[in-house]
Structures are given as C-alpha cells and as structure tokens.
C-alpha cells in the first residue's frame, strides 16, 4: 500500500455494510430487542403523555397529586411486552399495572411568552414554569 505522506500507511478496509458484518446493531430492531436481549416493558399513560417503562427506569412526568416517597400504581397500561409475547390493550391491558415510587418533584425551565403586534403598541410578556415529578419504575404486573 502506498504511503500518503502522513507517516502512517493506509489500511485497506473492506467495504461491507455494518449490518452484514456480524456486529450487533440497533438498526431495525426497535427497542424490544437490543443486541439479542428481550426486555420486559410497558407503555403507560400519565397525564396526556405515553411513556415506555422498564423496571429500574426513571421517568420524568408532569406533576401528579402524590407526595414524594409514595408508592403508586398506574393502571393505564396500553401495551405490555415480556418473554411470553406482546399484549396490546383495547384500549388498556386488563389487570396490568405498573408500580412506581415518586422520587422528587421539581420545576422545569422558565418558558418566556412574548406577544407582539407591530404598529399597534401591543406587547405582552408572560412566563411559565411547569412542575414535573421523577418516578422510578419498581415493578410491572401482568394482567390475568
């Protein structure tokens, strides 16, 4: 191989696509199968949002009416995936629950709202800080 003048010879790298090289990859596998391992997870609803929850994960959700340190059961489980397969609810999976612990309550960054209409002397400035809660997923309970 010719020396390009940098002092380090170039290495001839085979042009094989990464997926075909036998290396573990995340492309096309989704979050259900990561490098050949099946995870137990659930898609839950909290507030107006849906979250993917696995045991041990920490989720940041909009404020819930619970105290810090409380253990809560979330029963709106839309999808449950485990080693037996995937259960999709219509609209929720019967009997499935996710047990979580409230770790902390905190406020997000300030969002500034500024309304302005040109040539009308109309200017309004407001601000908003959303309150969030950090939850730890303790257990995912399958339905009957």
pLDDT in tens, 87-116: 998 999 999 999 999 999 999 999 999 999
For the cut 60, the answer to whether the pLDDT of residue 35 exceeds it is no
How far is Cα 60 from Cα 56, in angstroms, rounded to an integer? 13
How far is Cα 123 from Cα 116, in angstroms, rounded to an integer? 5
Stated pTM of the model: 0.68
Can you give the pLDDT at residue 39?
78
Q: Where are the domains of the chain?
A: 38-141
Burial degree of 132 (CB within 10 A; 0-12, 13-18, 19+) = middle
How far is Cα 89 from Cα 26, in angstroms, rounded to an integer? 26
Can you give the pLDDT at residue 19?
45
Can you give the pLDDT at residue 5?
56
Higher pLDDT, 84 or 135: 135
Three-state secondary structure call for residue 21: helix
Query: Tens digits of per-residue pLDDT, 111-131?
Result: 999 999 999 999 999 999 999
Query: Tens digits of per-residue pLDDT, 55-86?
Result: 999 999 999 999 999 999 999 999 999 888 89
Q: What is the mean pLDDT of the chain?
A: 81
């Amino acid at each position: 191989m010719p020396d390009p003048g940098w002092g380090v010879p170039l290495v001839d790298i085979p042009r094989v696509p990464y997926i075909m090289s036998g290396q573990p990859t995340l492309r096309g596998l989704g979050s259900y199968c990561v490098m050949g391992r099946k995870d137990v997870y659930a898609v839950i609803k909290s507030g107006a949002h849906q979250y993917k929850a696995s045991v041990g994960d920490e989720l940041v959700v909009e404020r819930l009416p619970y105290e810090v340190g409380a253990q809560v059961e979330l029963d709106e489980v839309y999808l449950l995936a485990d080693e037996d397969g995937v259960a999709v609810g219509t609209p929720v999976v019967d009997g499935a629950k996710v047990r979580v612990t409230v770790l902390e309550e905190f406020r997000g960054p300030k969002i500034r709202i500024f309304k302005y209409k040109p040539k009308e002397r109309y200017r309004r400035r407001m601000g908003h800080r959303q309150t969030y809660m950090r939850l730890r997923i303790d257990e995912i309970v399958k339905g009957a």
